[in-house]
């Protein structure tokens, strides 16, 4: 057998997204074998320049989100650029963008226009807010959506609202967009027709949060009673041991019986209220305070040994730096050595999922801005003059690294 190509080999994705949500979705498609053509404006995706220490438009965040893609520069405001995009649409299986409605209409990349050009394309529009609501024209970024969807309030607990310290909305909704795209691709295999798919950040995260936070409001007519007591407890946190930190989750009846035995508290094991999850939830602060006190009495290694021996979920608390020395991640080969033609050797993560028959495609490093413009547009039938007109960069050699961020 040849090298693994991934389960999406043969699928062509036209990616007009920027920042995190869309690029993450497109990255996952590429890691599963799809060909991803990343269409960028002349100044490039803004995250090219985040923490860009070498001033090449290849900062670490861009390198991670855009592996395995082909970068094509098009000036979509220019007629020649928009016409070149049509040629790429003709051969695309998936058309993905995250532009606001006004920009989408101005550039004529709305669903009706794109599907009229290619009726088989799966058109995915990742938006901030659904097109049927009053927020539909509002700009949306991760922090804003964390606030409006209730996540920041839940994260802050009884104190001030807080943001999760990673782009959790962008990446979560990016995976949701991936699921929606694959569903539409499957349906096309039956019907032969493409369709438009709208994936809104606000609605997606509201449903995500409400799964366990809706509480009593699941019953029609009820007001109040939202939240999930266990996750709301201020004592639910990584716990300090005698020499470090540990993560422990006591959840099932068996977990708690085991823990009460380990700390020599038969009175708690015999307490009728604590034998059920409902009763324990009513006293969750008391129980988590107890866990905090008891875990401080032994070292992390001692607790991990005894808890794992008794099948109680427990792990050390890693920093981001610790992940690069984690024995399990090394054993499963999560980190890959990638050689970049201008940035040198890189360490990046592979697709975390595995496929027993098709494998997953090994990816090259993320491209410099416009690296594949000439090759892709020439294959689409454009000559040198047409390519120069389409890119809007007549004085910049397409495919070469830029010397710095856009002005």
| Count of beta carbons in the 10 Å neighbourhood of residue 173 | 31
Please give the pLDDT value at position 277: 95
Q: What is the band of 2 on the pLDDT scale with cuts at 50, 70, 90? A: low
* 294-303: pLDDT as tens digits: 999 999 999 9
* The two three-digit tokens of residue 189, written as one number: 């295999």
Residue ranges matching CATH 3.40.50.10540 in the chain: 12-208+331-391
Calculate what percentage of the chain has a pLDDT beyond 90.
Answer: 90
CATH topology of domain 239-316: formyl-coa transferase, domain 3 (3.30.1540)
Q: Does the pLDDT at position 342 exceed 80?
A: yes
Integer angstrom CA distances of residue 44 from 47, 182, 299: 8, 27, 50
Query: In terms of CATH architecture, what is 12-208+331-391?
Result: 3-Layer(aba) Sandwich (3.40)
Sign of CA dihedral 400, 401, 406, 407: negative
Residue ranges matching CATH 3.30.1540.10 in the chain: 239-316
* 253-304: pLDDT as tens digits: 999 999 999 999 999 999 999 999 999 999 999 999 999 999 999 999 999 9
Name which of 1-15, 57-71, 238-252, 386-400 the model is least confident about: 386-400
Please give the pLDDT value at position 400: 44
* 303-335: pLDDT as tens digits: 999 999 999 999 999 999 999 999 999 999 999
Any alpha helices (H) in 3-150, and if so which ranges? Answer: 21-31, 60-65, 79-90, 101-106, 111-117, 142-148
- Please list the residues that pair with 94 across neighbouring strands: 13, 122
Closest CA to 342 of 397, 396, 401, 405: 401
What rounded mean pLDDT belongs to the chain? 93
């Amino acid at each position: 057998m040849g090298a693994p190509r991934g389960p999406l080999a043969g699928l062509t994705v036209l990616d007009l997204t920027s920042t995190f949500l869309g690029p993450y979705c497109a990255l996952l498609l590429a890691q599963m074998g799809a060909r991803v053509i990343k269409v960028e404006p002349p100044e490039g995706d803004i995250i090219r320049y985040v923490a860009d220490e070498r001033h090449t438009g290849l900062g670490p965040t861009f390198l991670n989100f855009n592996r395995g893609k082909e970068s094509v520069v098009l000036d979509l405001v220019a007629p020649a650029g928009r016409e070149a995009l049509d040629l790429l649409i003709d051969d695309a299986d998936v058309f993905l963008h995250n532009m606001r409605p006004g920009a989408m209409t101005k550039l004529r990349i709305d669903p009706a226009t794109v599907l009229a050009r290619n009726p088989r394309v799966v058109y995915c529009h990742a938006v901030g807010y659904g097109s049927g609501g009053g927020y539909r024209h509002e700009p949306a970024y991760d922090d804003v959506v964390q606030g409006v969807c209730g996540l920041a309030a839940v994260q802050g607990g009884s104190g001030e609202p807080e943001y999760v310290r990673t782009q959790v909305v962008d990446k979560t909704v990016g995976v949701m967009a991936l699921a929606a795209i694959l569903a539409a691709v499957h349906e096309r295999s039956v019907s032969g027709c493409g369709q438009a798919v709208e994936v809104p950040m606000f609605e997606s995260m509201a449903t995500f949060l409400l799964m366990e936070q809706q509480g009593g409001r699941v019953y029609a007519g009820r007001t109040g009673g939202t939240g999930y007591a266990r996750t709301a407890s201020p004592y639910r946190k990584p716990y300090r041991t005698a020499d470090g930190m540990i993560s422990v989750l006591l959840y099932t009846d068996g977990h708690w019986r085991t823990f009460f035995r380990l700390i020599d508290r038969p009175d708690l094991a015999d307490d009728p209220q604590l034998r059920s999850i409902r009763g324990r939830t009513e006293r969750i602060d008391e129980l988590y305070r107890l866990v905090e006190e008891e875990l401080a009495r032994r070292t992390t290694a001692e607790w991990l040994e005894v808890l794992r021996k008794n099948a109680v979920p427990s792990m050390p608390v890693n920093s981001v730096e610790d992940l690069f020395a984690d024995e399990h991640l090394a054993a499963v080969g999560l980190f890959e050595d990638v050689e970049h033609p201008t940035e040198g050797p890189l360490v990046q993560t592979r697709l975390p999922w595995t496929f027993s028959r098709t494998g997953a495609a090994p990816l090259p490093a993320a491209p410099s801005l416009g690296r594949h413009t000439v090759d892709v547009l020439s294959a689409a039938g454009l000559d040198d003059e047409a390519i120069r007109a389409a890119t809007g960069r007549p004085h910049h050699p397409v495919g070469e690294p830029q010397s710095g961020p856009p002005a």
